[in-house]
Amino acid sequence: MLLLNRPYHRKLALLLLTLFASLYSKAQDTILPKTDEGIIQQQLENIAENTENEEADYTNLLDALNYYREHPINLNKASREELQELQLLSDIEINNLLKHIEKTGKLITIYELQGVQGFDMQTIQRILPFVRVNDNFSSAHFNVKEMLTNGQNTILFRYARIIEQQKGFTSIDSNDLYDSPNSRYIGSPDRLYLRYRFTYGTNVSWGLTAEKDQGELFLKNNQRNSYDWYNQGMNPNNSAPDIFGSNKKPKNGFDFYSAHLFIRNMRFVRSLAIGDYQATFGQGLTMWSGLAFGKSADVMNVKKSAVGLRPYTSVDENRFLRGAATTVGYKKIEATVFYSRKSIDANTSDTTETGEIATISSLQETGYHSTMGELADKDAITQTIYGGNISYKGRSLTMGITGVNYELNTDYTRTLSLYNKYEFSARQNANIGFDYNFVFRNFNFFGEQSMSQNGGMAFVNGAFISLDPRLSMTILHRNYQRNFQNLLSNGFAENTMAVNEKGFFVGINAKPFRTISLSAYYDRFEFNWLKYQVNAPSTGNDYLAQINYTPSKKFDAYVRIRSRNKFKNTSIDEDIDFIVPVKQTNYRLNLSYSILPSLKFKNRIELTDYKFNDNKTMKGYVVYQDIAYSKMGVPFSVTLRYALFQTDNYDTRIYAYENEMPGVYSIPSYYFKGSRFYILIDYNITRNIELWVRYSQTVYDNTDMISEGSLTEINGNTRSEIKAQVRFKF
C-alpha cells in the first residue's frame, strides 16, 4: 500500500478537488480546438514507454504537423503525399476526399467536408488546425520567383541547463582522473542548440542545425578537462597514453552539426536531397531511417505512411542518412536512389600495430560525447549505406520494391551471448523487400515482405476496414524470423527491432454516440528465440481500452486501461535463470476543459500495478493539474503544471507528456516520491520574434541523493532546469 504523510494528503486532496469539480463545469462552447493534441501526446507517451527513452528527439516525426500548423494545406490543391504526411487521415478518407473534389469541384468552406464519405465533425476538428480551403498559394510545383517572394527564413537558438551541481562537474584531483578518465564530464553543463532553416512551402528546404549536449566540449580553451589538459597538463612528461589519437582532438564549436538541401516537384524530379536526410519506404521492414508511431489509442497508426525522402532537421545523431538522394517520376512510376556515408560511434575491441581500428564490439547510439571514453568512441568507424526503391503509385494501388546495402569499414564482432546469437555481427549486410497498399471501397490492405542477406525473412500484413462512418477496425499480422537482420528497419513490433517475433494485432475505433467514442486494441505476440533478460522462448499480450466523452468543443474526458503481460528472468540460484510472468497495468483518467475562451485546464490521475512472478504487487500513482492561458490579441501565453507522484520502485514509473517550446519534447518518467512543477512562458516580442522561457523543478521527499552513483548525481533532493529559446522569422 502507498503511504502518504499528512502534507501529502492535503496536496493530493486539493488536486483531486480541482479534478472532480471540473466534471460539473458548464461554461459555454467556444471555437473549435486548436488541435487534437491529446492523441499526439498519447502516441509520444507510448513511444517513451516502449523504448524507455525519455530524451528521444521527435522533431522529424512531427515535423510535418508543426509545419502545416503554421502553413495549412490548401485542400483544393493538396497532393496525396501531403495529406499522408499529416498522419491524421486514413488512406480510405484521403481517397474519398480526392474523389469528392474531383466529382463536385473545389471546396468553398471547410464544413463541406461533412459531405465527404467517412468525414464527421470529430474528423474535421482533428485536421482543422492543419488545413484550409481558401488559400491561393500552391506548393504543387517548384517556382524560383515564388520561392524568393514567399520563402521564409527561421533562426532558432536554445539554451538549457540543470541548475544544481551534478557530480560529473565537480572538481577532482588529476591523479584520480588518470585512474578513471570517465569519472568526470569534459565540458560544461550547458546545453546549446542553433538552427537556421529556409522553407518555401513543402518544395524547398535548406538549413543548418548544431547542438552541444550537457558535458560536451564547446570552447576548448575554457574547459578544465580538454584534450591538452589530459595528455599534457595532467602528465607533463607525456607518459599518459593518447586515448584519442591525432584525429580525436576536441575542436571549438558544437559537438554535432547537420545540414541539408531539399527540393520537391522540380519538373520530373519529385525530390532531391543533399546533405542530411531520411528515407522511409513501405511498412519499415526494409528501409526506415527515423522514428515511427506504433501502438496507441489511435489504432489507425499501426499502418505506417512512408513518404520516401524528407529533409533531416533533428539532432538524433544516428537515425539519418548523410549524402545524396533523388526521386524521379513519370506518371505513376517513381524511382528513388540514395547514398549515405558518415562516421559513427563505436566501441573498439582490437587495433592493429599502427593503432588503426581492426574490430569493434558494439555500435554506440547515445550521441553523447561528454566523457573521455565517449569522446574516444566518437566517429570511430565509417558507415556506408546505398540502395533504391521503384514504385507504382496509383489512386487505389501502390506497390514498390526496395533494396539497401549496409557496410562498415571494419569488422563488427558483437560480444555474443546465446540470446543474440542470430543478430547482425559482420562488416556488410543487404536487404530487399516488397511493399503494397491497396484501397478498395472501405477496405485498405497493406503490407511488406523483406529478406536479409543471410536468408532471414520478415513479413507484415494488415487491413484497415471502415465498416461504417462510426466504426472502423484494424487488423495486423507480423512474422519476423529470429535470423532476420536489418539495422535500418523500424517495423511494427513489440521488440525494439523487427526480429524474433510473431504477433497478431486487432483494434477498433467506434463512435456509438455523438459525444462518446471508444478505442481498443488487443495484441498477442510470441518470441520463438531468447531475448535480452529472457532466457527462453516466451509469449505475451498487450491490450488497451479507452472511452472518450466529448459533450462540447470545450470539454473532453477519457478513461483508459492498458495491461501488458510478458516474461522476464528471475535468478533462482547462481547458475540458472528461469523466466517468470510480469504484469503491468495502468489506469488513467484524463480531463481537458475550458472555463473561459482563454483559459484551459487539464487534469490527470494515473495509477499503475506491477507484479513480478508471485511477489507482492508494486503500485504507483501520478496526479497533476495543468493550466494554460492564451488569449487572442495578447502577445504572451502561459502553461504550468503541478504534479504529485509516488511509486514503490522504478518498475512502477509513469510517463507523462509535458508542454514544451517548439522543437523540444519532454516525456519524463515519474518515480519514487515527490512533486514536480513547471512553467512555460511564450512571448511574441514582435510579429517576427518569439521568446520562450521554461523552468521546471522536481522535489523528492524520500531521498537526499538524486541519481546516486552516476555522473548526474545531485547531493540533495531537488533537481531544477532552466530553458530559454528565441526564434526569428524573416
The domain limits of the chain are 144-258, 599-730
**H or E segment to which residue 37 belongs:** helix 37-51
C-alpha–C-alpha distance, residues 103 and 209, integer Å: 44
C-alpha–C-alpha distance, residues 610 and 619, integer Å: 6
**H or E segment to which residue 146 belongs:** helix 144-150
C-alpha–C-alpha distance, residues 479 and 458, integer Å: 6
SS (H, E, C) 60-123: CCCHHHHHHHHCCEECCCCCHHHHHHHCCCCHHHHHHHHHHHHHHCCCCCHHHHHHCCCCCHHH
Instruction: Specify the pLDDT at position 491.
Output: 93
- Its sign, for the CA torsion 369, 374, 377, 382, is negative
Instruction: Specify the pLDDT at position 176.
Output: 53
Task: Give the CA distances from residue 133 to residues 74, 87, 105, 109, in Å, rounded to whole numbers and listed in that order.
Answer: 5, 19, 12, 6
Which residues of the chain fall below pLDDT 70?
1-39, 51-53, 135-143, 172-179, 220-251, 355, 571-576
Instruction: Specify the pLDDT at position 225.
Output: 46
Residue 398 grid cell: 501502390
Q: Are 76 and 112 in contact (CB under 8 A)?
A: no
Among residues 2, 96, 146, which one has the least CA distance to residue 441? 96
C-alpha–C-alpha distance, residues 681 and 393, integer Å: 45
Instruction: Specify the pLDDT at position 280.
Output: 95
Instruction: Specify the pLDDT at position 65.
Output: 77
Instruction: Specify the pLDDT at position 611.
Output: 95
Contacts 24+ apart (CB under 8 A), 237-245: 240/178, 243/181, 243/372, 243/376, 244/375, 244/376, 245/355
Sequence letter at residue 559: V
Instruction: Specify the pLDDT at position 666.
Output: 87
Instruction: Specify the pLDDT at position 250.
Output: 58
Q: Are 495 and 501 in contact (CB under 8 A)?
A: yes
Instruction: Specify the pLDDT at position 334.
Output: 96
Q: Residue 306, SS3?
A: coil
Instruction: Specify the pLDDT at position 576.
Output: 67
Instruction: Specify the pLDDT at position 28.
Output: 34
Q: Are 389 and 402 in contact (CB under 8 A)?
A: yes
How many beta carbons lie within 10 A of that of residue 612, not counting itself? 17
Instruction: Specify the pLDDT at position 547.
Output: 95
Q: Are 552 and 516 in contact (CB under 8 A)?
A: no
Instruction: Specify the pLDDT at position 572.
Output: 63
Residue 9 grid cell: 494528503
Model confidence over 181-212: pLDDT tens digits?
788 898 899 999 999 999 988 789 999 999 99
399-414 b/e (C-beta count within 10 Å ≥ 16 → b): ebbbebebebebebbb
How many beta carbons lie within 10 A of that of residue 377, not counting itself? 22
Instruction: Specify the pLDDT at position 376.
Output: 86
Q: Indicate the burial class of 437 (C-beta count within 10 angstroms; 0-12, 13-18, 19 or more).
A: buried
